[in-house]
Structure formats: structure tokens, C-alpha cells
Amino acid sequence: MKGKNALIFCVFVLFLTGQFSLDFSRVHASNERYKVSSNDSVPSLQDIIDKAKPGDRIVLAEPKYSGPVVINKRLEILGSENVLLINDKPEPAITIQADGVTVHDINVLQKHAGEESTAVHVQADRVTIRNLKIRTRGFGILLRNAENCILENNNITWDTSQGKSAIGQKGNGIDLFKSNHNRIANNKISNMRDGIYLDNSKSLDIVENMIFGSRYGIHCMYIDGTKIVGNIGEYNMTGAMIMGVRDVLISDNSFAKQKNNANSQGILLYDVQTSIVQKNSIEGNRVGIYLERSSQNKLSHNSIYRNFVGIQFVNAENNIIQNNDFVANVIESEANDSQSNQIEHNFWDSAKVLDTNHDGNSEIKYSINPFYRNLISETPAYQLFFQSPGISFLSGMYEHDQNSWTTDSSPRMKLNQPAIISSTIADKRLLPEKTFLLIIASMLLLISGLTIIYSRGSKT
Amino acid sequence: MSDMLQVAKKEIKVGFRNPWAYSFLVLFSVFSLSLLLINSQNEISGYSGVTGSMLSLILYLLPLMSLFLGSFSLTAEKEEGSWQLLSTYPLGTLSFMLGKYFGLSVVLLTIISFGYGLMGIVTVLVGKMFEVNTYLLFLSFSCGLVLLFLALALWIGTLAKNRWQALTISVMIWFFTVIAWPTILIAVLGFLPYLWIKPLLVIFTFLNPAEFVRLFVVIKLGGGSVLGPEYYQWVGWIHSASGSFSFFVLFLVWLLFSLTCVCWIWERRRSRA
């Protein structure tokens, strides 16, 4: 199934890149104010911008323009899905230095490779960048000291036409530094270093972006008061890496299948205080949620499925872990030097529970037996024994130092959130399940019944 | 061939006269209904802790059942003297052994089908949902277990002199392969160099039918990451088509090897007697 997912992902990437080549091949023409005559040579976009007055709207009609361009007055630049801006210089393809600039519907190809190379560089406020399809050999969109900007529906991907690159050589998809109050929504980012990198920027909205095949999906440092909501990350090394922040909301995100790296996590929280992590779905990662040096956070209503380690605490104290669902995690919880976390009302699929007063919570507390974790942390090869009957037998005998075990004071009887449908099971439904089951079951019963009757009745 | 069929027919007939078969039938039916009850509390598709405990329950009961029925059937031949009589007939040992095996498999598979059939129908009638995929995988898991442990049972029946011995050895083998397996391996492998542990563990796993059938089902049920980073290639491999095929080959090799050895022992004893 892993192979199948990888295939789907490849097809997806091919689709994305294929999209570009199709876009480039078609020719489309429309203009409002500036008609650009078609020459054999590729027209320079900078010439057009230099001729425009502040407040003008430029509609690009040619299929190709050459970069780089610097926009230093308030303009609206509108392309179409067939307009391509090619830049093979080291400077950014588009540099925006004036407030209130809007750029949309342009394909941008930043061919120059290198640490400093960037497709779009924003150094002004209230800039809107929408529907850009960026292929780059450096960074995607860079915001420096830019406030109140909107980055929406952009598609940023690493340019593989000049061969493959190691992750260290790549740039980030969207990269913010000292840029507050910006909105980043509905962008698709694939195969970059960090999908969205946020540094020293406050009060951002990171909403419904999709990030694939990058190192960290969302990587943030010092971004107090930011909302990270509804993003999807798959096949990255780590879904969201959140460091050194306060009052952040991380909600309704989905981070799945991040396990190809030995240190990959769904959500990593390092030095995070007073933040809320809720309703995220975290499936099939090495570590679902990792908390280090973090306190007074509230983690609730997350679905943590099929991770190798469900939740891991390192020096994390006074957090509230409530109403989460832990299903089929090999090691449900791991804690080092982390006392006084309040863990309650979570659903643990392997907990023994009993509800006597029908409030939906178990009266028996659930302590997670660390025997198996200790066993496989010494010798990972023993992972083959996962949930083997003999291991439950062995762990049952291990009762050492129960007070230090991670304990849920009152586990839930049922799932807190609707179950995540596993893609491995859901894709095989031809007949209506019930009929099919009925047919099989009746056949089995009939055949066995007949065999018994026949063999008892027959004469030798 | 016809000899083999005769032996198999007789085995089926005797098998269904045997009160043991019915007590197991009842036991397994009750048991499968309880599995249904357990599963009805499970809202999660694919692998979860509940599926894990269902697998464990099956692992407790089915191997024991096939070991008892299989080994008793062979020792009965010795104790009641029917083998001594059959030895004087022109009946090949191979036909005899294969007949025994097929006959017993039919008896055991009938018991399992009855249990699962009942469970399936009750599922549909009560309206509780059991995913067809999981149901079929559990059914094949049970059949696989029974067939492999039946081969082990023939070994036991061959080596034991009478039913009491067979009973003792059966319980021992069951305890060793199902319950004490990790304990013993962890204890023994702990003395060996670290790098030997994984390859040896893999080899031992292939030797224990309970373990390799269980692992196959766990991975097939989508417990992809449950085996951890150490065995990612395994998971990918088992999910591919060649994985199922290789599993089937391993299964056949296991059966053929056991049956050949057992046949050889009986043939040797026959020629010496």
C-alpha cells in the first residue's frame, strides 16, 4: 500500500509538472490598456512596468516575458494561465518594493540556482499575490518586512528540469521574515526544502495550504499569535515544526505518512507555551505529536492513528492532553522528565475500560505499560513481536514502578472524533457490503452443515 | 489416488463421529460470536488494538484445536491397531498420510466455516457491521493457522506413542509457539551478539507458523507502521503482489516439508516392523 501511495503521489507530481508544460504550449491573447506587440524576441516585462503610472492595471497578453522585474510603484499586474515569466538572472524574477501591488495569474520560472535565488521577493506592505505558478531553483516567495500581504492559490514547486537536487540545495516554498499580519492560504507547495517557513513574524494566518515531499511542511519560529488551520502535509519529513512560540492555534490540519526519515514527526512542538493544538489528524508518522520544553498547552480532539509513537514528551510539563484518540499506535506514549501533564478523557484503543456511571468516561484509569517500549528501544528488531499474544503475557507480568507510567485518569469509552478511514481498506467496495457478507456467510454455513450431515449419513 | 480418497473419506467420517469435533464446534461458534461482540465496539477500520486482541484470541484457540484433533487421530491409529492392519494391505504410506491430512483438514475447516458462517449471518441479522475485507482476512488467517498447525499435529502424532503423550506434547508445542515464544526468544537472543538478533529473529519467525501468519495478517490489515522503522521494507513487500505470492510459497514449503518428513518416518517404521 505504501508503494501504491507513492505511485499516486508520483502521478500527482507529474500532473503538476505536466500542467505547466501544457500551460506553456498554448497561446492566449487579451489586453486592456497595454498592447504588447509580438516580436520574435521575448519582451521584457520591466519595460512595460517602467512605462506604467502608479495605479495602472497591466494585462499581459504575450505568452512569454523575460525577467527580472522590479515593481516600485503601485500596480496591478494580471496575466493568464498561459503567460510565462522566465528569469535566468540571479536576481528575483519579481521584486515588489511598492505598497499595495497586486500580481496574479502568471507562471514564473526562476531558472537560476543558488542560495540567494528567489522567484518572488516582496519588501512592501499590502501586496497580493494570487494564482501564481512558480517553478524555481531557489526560493518560491520571500517576504521581508512585509505586512498585511495576501498569498493565495499559488502553486510552488521545485524545478526538476535541470536534474535532481538534494534537499539542502533547495529553497523554501514561502519564506517570511519580520513580516507580520500576513495571510497565506490555499497554496500548493511540493518538493521544496521547507514548504512554509515563518521566522520572527507575528499574527499570521496559515490556512488550507497543501505541502508535499518537502523537508518540513510548516516550519515556524517566533510567530506568536499565529493561526495554522486546515493545512495538509504528506510525505514530508516533519509535518509542522513549531518552535519558540506563544499563543499559537494549530487546528484541523492533517499530517500523514511522514515516516521515511528516522526523526520525522507529525507535529513537533519545541519551546511552545500557551498554545492550542486541536482537531488535527495525524496518521502514519514516526512520532505523532512530539512535545519538548513546552508547557501550558492544550492538546485536544486530535486523531492520532497508526503512528510508531503516538505522543512523546521530553521535558514538557503542565500541558493538558484531553479528548484525543489514540488508535493503533505501536507505542502510545513516551515520556522523559515530564511530570504533571494533565492527561484525561482520551480514547486509547488498547485500554481496558469500564464505565459504571454512564458518563462516557471510564472509572478505571489507564496506565501505559512501558515494557514493550523499553524492550524495543534496546533492540528494535523485537518490533516483530508487536501485539503478539506472548508479549501481552510478558508485559502483564511487568509491574515495576507504576507511578512513573503515563496515566490517563479517565479514558474515554468511545472515539472522541469520527474515525479516520484508512485508505488501505476503503478502496475496495464493489458489492454492497451487507449482501456480500450475507452470501459468503450463508455459503460457509451451508457447506459446513452439508459436510457434517453427509459424512454422518454416508455408509462405508 | 483413490486410496488417498478412501482414507480421507474415512477420516472425515470418523472425525464427525468424534465428540471432540462437536465440542470444538460449539466452542468455536460461541467464540466467534464473542469476537463479533468485541468487534462491534470497534469503530475503526483497518488495524487497531481491538483487531489485535481478536487475532490473539484466535491464536489461543485454533492452534490448540488442530493440534489435539490431528495428533489424536494419528495416535488412535497406533493404539487401536488399525495402522498395523493397514500396513499389511497394499496401501502406500504417502496415500495414507495425505488422506489423513486432507480428511482432518476438511473436519477442521468445516468447524471454522461453521463458526464464521454463523458469525457472518448473525452480523447481518443484528445489523452490526463487520467489514467484509476484515472478515475474509480473518477467515483466511484462521484457515492458514489450522492447516499449518495440522501439519505440526501430524508430527506430534508420529512421535507420540499414545494419546496421553500426544496431549502433553500438543500443549507444550502450543504454549511454546503461541505464548512463550517472545519470552524464550528474548531470553535466548539476549546472549547473542547484537547484529545477529535481527536475522535470527527473522529465521525463527519463519519457523513458527503462528508468528508468520499473524504478521502477514497484521500488515495486510494496514498496520503499516506497527512494525516500526526496522521493518519498513517488509511492509512494502508484503503489500505488493509478490508479497502474497511469497507468503503462499512459504506456506506450501512448510506443509510439504512437514508432510514429507512425517511420511518418511512412518515409512521407515513400517519397513522395520
Structure confidence at residue A195 (pLDDT): 92
Q: How many contacts does A have with B, using Cβ atoms within 8 A?
A: 214
Question: Which residue is listed with cell 481491538?
Answer: B50
CB contact under 8 A, B222 and A445: no
Please tell me which of the candidates A381, A383, A422 has its beta carbon nearest to residue B45: A422
Model pLDDT for residues A339-391, shown as the tens digit of each residue: 788 898 999 887 888 888 888 888 888 888 888 878 887 888 888 887 788 88
The mean per-residue pLDDT over the stretch A399-415 comes to 82
Give 3-state DSSP helix, strand, coil % of chain B, rounded to 5: 85, 0, 15
Task: Tell me the C-alpha to C-alpha distance, in Å, between residue A128 and each of A65, A99, A102, A173.
Answer: 20, 10, 5, 16
CB A447 within 8 A of CB A440: no
Model pLDDT for residues B87-132, shown as the tens digit of each residue: 888 888 888 889 999 999 999 999 999 998 998 888 888 776 667 7
Structure confidence at residue B269 (pLDDT): 84
Chain A residues closer than 8 Å to B118 by CB: 441, 445
The mean per-residue pLDDT over the stretch A290-309 comes to 90
Task: Tell me the C-alpha to C-alpha distance, in Å, between residue A278 and each of A292, A357, A367.
Answer: 18, 28, 23
Between B192 and A11, where is the model more confident? B192
pLDDT score of A1 more than 70: no
In a domain, A100, yes or no: yes
In a domain, A203, yes or no: yes
CB contact under 8 A, A448 and B227: no
In a domain, A294, yes or no: no
CB contact under 8 A, A2 and B230: no
Chain B residues closer than 8 Å to A263 by CB: none
A394 to chain B, any CB pair closer than 8 A? The answer is yes
A403 to chain B, any CB pair closer than 8 A? The answer is no
**For residue A68, cis peptide bond before it (omega within 30 degrees of 0):** yes
In a domain, A325, yes or no: no
In single-letter form, the type of residue at position B219 comes to I
The mean per-residue pLDDT over the stretch B59-68 comes to 91
CB A282 within 8 A of CB A302: yes
pLDDT score of B167 more than 90: yes
C-alpha distance from B66 to closest chain A C-alpha (Å): 17
Structure confidence at residue A228 (pLDDT): 93
Structure confidence at residue A127 (pLDDT): 93
Structure confidence at residue A120 (pLDDT): 92
In single-letter form, the type of residue at position A387 comes to Q
Range of weakest confidence among A13-27, A75-89, A236-250, A342-356: A13-27
Within 13 Å and on the Cβ side, how many CA atoms surround A427? 8
pLDDT score of B171 more than 90: yes
All 3 cell numbers of residue B202? 527473522
pLDDT score of A457 more than 60: yes
Q: Are strands A76-78 and A281-283 parallel, antiparallel or unpaired?
A: unpaired
In single-letter form, the type of residue at position B152 comes to L
Range of weakest confidence among A388-392, A401-405, B13-17: A401-405
DSSP state of A307: -
Q: Is A421 helix (H, G, I), strand (E, B) or coil?
A: coil
Could you list the residue range(s) of the whole structural domain that residue A78 is in?
58-214
Chain B residues closer than 8 Å to A386 by CB: 218, 223, 226-228
Beta-bridge mates of residue A249: A227, A276
All 3 cell numbers of residue A38? 509580438
Please tell me which of the candidates A3, A305, A392 has its beta carbon nearest to residue B240: A3
CB contact under 8 A, B226 and A382: no
Question: Which residue is listed with cell 516554498?
Answer: A173
Total tally of structural domains belonging to chain A: 1
Residues 194-223 of B with CB under 8 A from A: 194, 197-198, 201-202, 205, 211, 214-215, 218, 221-223
Between A350 and A211, where is the model more confident? A211
Structure confidence at residue A14 (pLDDT): 43
In single-letter form, the type of residue at position A164 comes to K
Please tell me which of the candidates A1, A391, A419 has its beta carbon nearest to residue B222: A1
What value, to the nearest 5°, has the Cα angle with vertex A195 and ends A194 and A198? 75
CB contact under 8 A, B224 and A2: yes
Mutation target among B6, B14, B109, B113 for the A interface, most CBs of A within 10 A: B113
CB contact under 8 A, A381 and B198: yes
Model pLDDT for residues A246-299, shown as the tens digit of each residue: 899 999 999 887 655 556 788 999 999 999 999 999 987 888 899 999 999 999
Across chain B, mean pLDDT equals: 85
The mean per-residue pLDDT over the stretch A297-313 comes to 89
Residues 413-452 of A with CB under 8 A from B: 414-415, 419, 421-422, 424-426, 428, 433-434, 436-438, 440-449, 451-452
Locate the chain A residue with the closest alpha carbon to B137.
Answer: A425
Between B34 and A20, where is the model more confident? B34
Model pLDDT for residues B193-226, shown as the tens digit of each residue: 888 888 888 888 888 988 888 888 887 776 556 6
What value, to the nearest 5°, has the Cα angle with vertex A293 and ends A290 and A299? 50
Mutation target among A354, A431, A444 for the B interface, most CBs of B within 10 A: A444
CB contact under 8 A, A384 and B45: no
The mean per-residue pLDDT over the stretch A191-199 comes to 91
Model pLDDT for residues A316-345, shown as the tens digit of each residue: 889 999 999 998 787 888 877 777 888 989
B63 to chain A, any CB pair closer than 8 A? The answer is no
Domain layout of chain B by residue ranges: 2-272
C-alpha distance from A72 to closest chain B C-alpha (Å): 52
Predicted TM-score (pTM) above 0.90:
no
Question: Of A328, A406, A330, A411, which Cα lies nearest the Cα of A365?
Answer: A411
Locate the chain B residue with the closest alpha carbon to A389.
Answer: B56
